[in-house]
């Protein structure tokens, strides 16, 4: 089963997302970037659902550490920051999608499904050569 880490400082939203996703995924949540980095040092995840603005260790802090902690994990940013420069920075640091709050649960779930499908496609194609490798692109 796909493992998701939710990093969100709003306790109500964090709990709501965790409860809404628990039927489809193994969900863990953290309230801040520092706690998320500590969690990722010891646990593997497939997708990180990440807020950008948090009191203790922002989302950019987490994104900058992802290559060393969870290089295969996909990152979905869900934030209240509707800023093109910040969205661009998040994508440059490795985010795969950027959704602005308020966002529907449907949009979050659909984006997660796409990221999980990307992971599945990539793991299926790992180690393929020749024509099979071309088909996986």
Express each pLDDT in 4-39 by its tens digit.
999 999 999 999 999 999 999 999 999 999 999 999
Give the pLDDT confidence score for residue 80 in this predicted structure: 93
Express each pLDDT in 75-94 by its tens digit.
999 999 999 999 999 999 99
- Answer whether 103's CB lies under 8 Å from 85's CB: no
Helix (H, G, I), strand (E, B) or coil at 16: helix
| First-residue to last-residue Cα distance in the chain | 24
In this predicted structure, the answer to whether residue 46 has a pLDDT above a threshold of 90 is yes
- Answer whether 54's CB lies under 8 Å from 36's CB: no
- Answer whether 48's CB lies under 8 Å from 60's CB: no
Domain hosting residue 88, numbered range? 3-135
Q: Is the pTM of this model over 0.75?
A: yes
Where residue 54 sits, what CATH number does that domain have?
3.40.50.2300
In this predicted structure, the answer to whether residue 128 has a pLDDT above a threshold of 60 is no
Q: How many domains are there within the chain? A: 1
- Answer whether 108's CB lies under 8 Å from 49's CB: yes
């Amino acid at each position: 089963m796909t493992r998701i880490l939710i990093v969100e400082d709003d306790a109500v939203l964090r709990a709501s997302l965790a409860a809404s996703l628990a039927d489809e995924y193994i969900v863990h949540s953290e309230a801040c970037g520092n706690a998320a980095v500590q969690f990722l040092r010891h646990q593997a995840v497939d997708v990180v659902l990440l807020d950008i603005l948090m009191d203790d260790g922002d989302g950019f802090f987490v994104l900058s550490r992802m290559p060393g902690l969870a290089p295969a994990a996909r990152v979905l940013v869900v934030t209240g920051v509707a800023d093109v420069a910040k969205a661009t920075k998040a994508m440059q640091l490795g985010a795969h999608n950027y959704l602005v709050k308020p966002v529907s649960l449907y949009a979050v779930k659909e984006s997660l499904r796409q990221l999980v499908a990307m992971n599945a496609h990539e793991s299926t194609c790992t180690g393929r050569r020749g024509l099979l490798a071309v088909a996986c692109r």
